[in-house]
Structure 1
Amino acid sequence: MGGKAVANGDDISTWAGAERLINTAVETFGDLHAVVNNAGILRDRMLANMSEEEWDAVIKVHLKGTFAPSRFAAAYWRDQSKAGKPVDGRIINTSSVSGIYGNVGQTNYGAAKAGIAAFTTIASLELGRYGVTVNAVAPVALTRMTENLGPAPETDQEREHRSPKWIAPIVTWLASSESAGITGRVFEASGDVLAIAEGWHRGPTSKPVEDPTKLGPIVEEMMAKARLNAGMDGRDGSWPQPQKS
């Protein structure tokens, strides 16, 4: 298929590094069409055992490492739009089912990935006026970062099923002109499924009360009507429910 590439070794979780990344793309290719934010690390630990350094490292790489390049890309596209030039920009972020549904031992990672999902929604609202769409993928695949999590694939078929190749098509499509009408969405992608994560919605409601002692039966009634939290598979109620003592 051919193509041209240029390497950039800057730390995209730093302000200066992210700016140089975007400038490198514009200076090399003459324009900027799409940004894929995919930097990531893991520092998994149960909450009571997690260190400040483990929290900060994950938040910096994932969340700031998404914000900083997006910020400089957004400024570039805004200036292009205000100068009267046509803009058809794309930002594709990387969230996770851990951030959408939650996973034990990943308060840092899940918080960052949930933040990226919210960032995606808000950035899409802000940048639409400039001709830019913002979406995210929540991939499930076997990579260098995830290969030590859980049991290794036992067969070639299972390894193929968990290949990152199932993620690439949706990222490529979201970066193309065909996706112009899609923005503010998070797509789950794996060898099992391609799905749209539908995010938070308001559930059962009640009139507010001033007396907290009256809330017990009100909340109990609302909980009886509410959907259960989804598990890592995205199905309602598959998340382990708290046990009554």
Structure 2
Amino acid sequence: MSITFDGRVAIVTGAGGGLGRAYALELARRGARVVVNDLGGARDGSGSSDAAAKVVEEIAAAGGTAIANGASVTDPEQVEAMVRSAQETWGGVHILINNAGILRDRSFAKMSADDFRSVVEVHLLGSALCTKAVWEIMRAQAYGRILMTSSSSGLFGNFGQANYGAAKLGIAGLARTLHLEGAKYDIRVNTIAPTAATRMTEDIFPPDMLALFNPDNVVPAALYLVSEDAPTNMIVGAGAGVVQATYVTLTQGYALPEGRRTVEEVAANWDRITDRSGEIVPQSGAEQAMTILRALQATQGTSSAT
């Protein structure tokens, strides 16, 4: 089976280098018309460059179709103009990969409010604004594929990245809600947590690991998640050719008996509360309330039997 993107229009943010560039090149190679978006800033968000135009040149040289765009993902008017341009040029927008990001790593004790705000704005707010700009188009055409970019720092934590981790876990939550709201319109929303050697991570990987974690090794998972037969509501880790699935799970828990709903009762039953046997993967927030009700009903049933 060959997966192609013929007739599809894709927007890739942060596509002037690293992962975004790799996504854009492969989408174009497989037939998509691509908006290569990149403000061209350094990894802390400062400055600008013609990085997007250079990627468009690469795509054109390989026989593909693309246009460059320098919109800031944090500016609603610029984002809307970018989407409008894609729609007017090619008739629609079928794929959005929210990849743009910056880093301002510091321990939380040394992190300024501006460091925190800037990272959250680019990653989380930027993803929301870009998605909002394509949302009605995708609803109207009853087709959309959206890929959010999270991180192991958001899913599992990482020292010195409180701002980045907060934004990246927020993105995963955003994706889960959009999956529910977009389902009836065949808008599938997934999240990727990539591990790759890019300018964002160049000082993290030792030299002998750079080739192994080439961004190209993330591309297969990312493009599958925006393909016609993509799953939805998935959080997928990818790096060095390894593809993983991440789940948010919920234990069965423990129902505190009436008359003993105390701090001490929680402490005494902590092992039961955190017991992972029989844990579930909720598909919506409402399922947590349902499990609570079932636990209470089971307790009431036991009380009635005795």
Q: TM-score, normalised by structure 2?
A: 0.65
Aligned partners of 1:8 and 1:24 also within 8 Å: no
1:44 equivalent in alignment to 2:121: no
Amino acid at match of 1:100: L
> Helix, strand or coil for the counterpart of 1:5?
strand
1:215 equivalent in alignment to 2:269: no
Once the 2 structures are TM-superposed, how far is the Cα of residue 220 of structure 1 from its aligned partner? 5.0
Aligned partners of 1:88 and 1:177 also within 8 Å: no
Q: Which has the larger radius of gyration?
A: 2
Q: Could you say which residue in structure 1 is the equivalent of 2:240?
A: 191
Q: Could you say which residue in structure 2 is the equivalent of 1:102?
A: 157
Rounded Cα–Cα distance in structure 2 between residues aligned with 1:124 and 1:62: 18
Aligned partners of 1:136 and 1:187 also within 8 Å: yes
Counterpart among 165, 170, 176 of residue 121 in structure 1: 176
Unaligned runs of 5+ in 2: 1-28, 30-62, 278-306
- CA separation of 1:129 and 1:106: change in aligned 2, threshold 3 A: same
- CA separation of 1:105 and 1:88: change in aligned 2, threshold 3 A: same
Amino acid at match of 1:138: A
- CA separation of 1:135 and 1:221: change in aligned 2, threshold 3 A: closer
Aligned partners of 1:93 and 1:137 also within 8 Å: yes
Q: Could you say which residue in structure 1 is the equivalent of 2:122?
A: 61
Q: TM-score, normalised by structure 1?
A: 0.81
Aligned length: 213
Amino acid at match of 1:97: S
Q: Could you say which residue in structure 2 is the equivalent of 1:142?
A: 197
1:92 equivalent in alignment to 2:147: yes
> Helix, strand or coil for the counterpart of 2:83?
helix
Once the 2 structures are TM-superposed, how far is the Cα of residue 173 of structure 1 from its aligned partner? 2.0
Aligned partners of 1:12 and 1:21 also within 8 Å: no
Q: Could you say which residue in structure 1 is the equivalent of 2:250?
A: 202
Counterpart among 143, 147, 160 of residue 211 in structure 2: 160
Rounded Cα–Cα distance in structure 1 between residues aligned with 2:229 and 2:271: 47
Once the 2 structures are TM-superposed, how far is the Cα of residue 221 of structure 1 from its aligned partner? 4.7
Answer with 211-220 or 185-194: which moved more.
211-220
Q: Could you say which residue in structure 2 is the equivalent of 1:3?
A: 64
> Helix, strand or coil for the counterpart of 2:146?
strand
Once the 2 structures are TM-superposed, how far is the Cα of residue 218 of structure 1 from its aligned partner? 2.2
Counterpart among 160, 185, 189 of residue 130 in structure 1: 185
1:77 equivalent in alignment to 2:138: yes
Q: Could you say which residue in structure 1 is the equivalent of 2:88?
A: 27
1:173 equivalent in alignment to 2:234: no
> Helix, strand or coil for the counterpart of 2:269?
helix
Aligned partners of 1:21 and 1:69 also within 8 Å: no
Rounded Cα–Cα distance in structure 2 between residues aligned with 1:129 and 1:221: 38
Rounded Cα–Cα distance in structure 2 between residues aligned with 1:38 and 1:108: 17
Amino acid at match of 1:170: A
Rounded Cα–Cα distance in structure 2 between residues aligned with 1:176 and 1:38: 17
Aligned partners of 2:149 and 2:192 also within 8 Å: yes
Identity rate of aligned residues, in percent?
Answer: 34
Rounded Cα–Cα distance in structure 1 between residues aligned with 2:252 and 2:186: 37
Larger RCO: 1 or 2 (CA < 8 Å, sep 6+): 1
Amino acid at match of 1:117: A
Rounded Cα–Cα distance in structure 2 between residues aligned with 1:215 and 1:178: 45
> Helix, strand or coil for the counterpart of 1:160?
coil
Rounded Cα–Cα distance in structure 2 between residues aligned with 1:32 and 1:18: 13
